[in-house]
Structure 1
Amino acid sequence: MDEATLTDALEREHHEIDAGLEAFVVGIEAGQNVTADLTRATSALRRHIYLEEEFLFPPLRSSGLLAPVLVMLREHGEIWRTMDALEQEVADQDGRGATERCRELLSLLEAHNAKEEPIIYPEGDARLSGEVKEELHAFIQRGTMPDGWVCAMAAPR
């Protein structure tokens, strides 16, 4: 693991996901077929949400961070539904017209990450056992999300 802390590793994933989504917008605006770029970025984002909800949030919740974790879960649901809508627009329109939805997703991620990075991640570094941290680092390096997994609050409102 190159990163010294979970915060470093998880923030790196945020930056990579954002860069992939931004590349999709730029590519679409340039008239390129960049749906593969979007697929990579949304797959990475779904996997990232999975690792947080399955590995990071449960022990944080148990250690007393109930309210912040619930906020993150609610926002994950909104992010997940926006990804679903974006992917449907791309499928229906071959990527054209999806830039606005992708910008909406980037805006949601910016607001979400602005809370998650300074609050949740440092608490993970401080509160999680060494065993849980090792499990998270291992997943970050090579873990895969189970087929069909959906985040806790992805159901339509």
Structure 2
Amino acid sequence: MEANTLGGALEMEHRQIDGGIEAYLAGLDGPANPAPLLAALTGLRRHIYLEEQFLFPPLKAAGLMGPIFVMLREHGRLWSSMDNLEQLLADGADGGARREACTALLALLDAHNSKEEPIIYTQADAILSEDAGSELQDFLAQGTTPDGWVCSAASR
């Protein structure tokens, strides 16, 4: 997908998030720097927010209710996985536990993204109105997740 489309920009975020987790994993054999992982988790939470607030509502209104329901449910699983990983970091868990949690999160992301990119993102530019697309682009450029926001399917 082209980077100058909404779908392309969202796919690029997927690659950046995956890259941060992978960079952290690569450093686990030495003194692991948590910065790439923490940046990836912050980026993933922001990405989920922008999808649920800006992208999914117009797509759902256009008739993609089933695929959006699946994406929302999977966001809940991703959110839980991130919470677990953050807790492991806070608890000072050993490298093996952190590696396992990162690998599990990457597997969830792979399964999620393999559906989201061809089904949801290909529709973004075609279905979103000019105003909705502009609002999403503005958020991509400089938006942040509101403090305390959690995804709709988070188990809290």
Q: What TM-score do the two structures reach when normalised by structure 2?
A: 0.95
Q: How many residues align?
A: 154
Cα distance in 1 for residues equivalent to 2:58 and 2:94:
39
**Which residue in 1 is equivalent to 2:101?**
101
Partner residue in 2 for 1:7: 7
Give the 3 Å change call, closer, same or farther, for CA 129–57 of structure 1 in structure 2. Answer: same
Structure 1, residues 52-86: CA drift from partner, whole Å, max 9, x if none?
00000011111110000000000000000000001
Identity within the alignment, %: 53
The one-letter code of the counterpart of 1:139 is F
1:19–1:95 Cα change, 3 Å: farther
* Pairs within 5 Å for 1:76-91: 76-91=75-90
Q: Counterpart in 2 of 1:151?
A: 151
What secondary structure is seen at the aligned counterpart in 1 of 2:27? helix
Name the residue aligned to 1:53.
52
SS at match of 1:125: helix
Unaligned runs of 5+ in 1: none
1:35/1:95 contact within 8 Å kept: no
Which amino acid in structure 1 is aligned with residue 108 of structure 2?
L
Deviations 1:12-69 (A, max 9, x none): 00000000000111111x2223112211010000000000000000111111100000
Runs of 4 or more above 6 Å deviation: none
* Distance in 2 between residues matched to 1:95 and 1:130, nearest whole Å: 48
**Partners of 2:109 and 2:103 in 1: how far apart?**
10
Structure 2 unaligned regions, length at least 5: none
For 1:140 and 1:101, how far apart are their aligned partners in 2? 27
Q: Partner of 1:115: helix, strand, or coil?
A: helix
For each residue in 1:100-132, what CA deviation from the matched residue of structure 2 results, as whole angstroms up to 9, or x when unmatched? 010000000000000000000111111110111
Q: Which amino acid aligns with 1:33?
A: A
Does the 8 A contact of 1:17 with 1:45 survive in 2? Answer: yes
